[in-house]
Amino acid sequence: MDIEILGSGCSNCAKLEKVTKEGIAQLGIEAHVEKVEDMQKIMSYGVMSTPALVINGVVKLVGKVPNKVREIEILEKELNAK
């Protein structure tokens, strides 16, 4: 699973990265997590509000930080979609 955390380095971006990594660890899945701070790339996804979560090239969450339970739901849904 390829995961991108889109954001300018704000505190919410760091929180999203943290909760995402915690969810990955709890589920025991393999994932590559990349922080993306390049505004051109962020805008290429059509994202105008950060932080944003992109999984396998698809924007899943914009402008907010989910709690750990919600993050795990998002990750599980993506796993089950395969």
Active site amino acids: 10, 13
Q: How far apart are CA 67 and CA 42, in angstroms?
A: 23
What phi, psi does 29 have (nearest 5°)? -100, 160
52 touches 62 (CB < 8 A): yes
Local structure of residue 58 (DSSP, 8 states): E
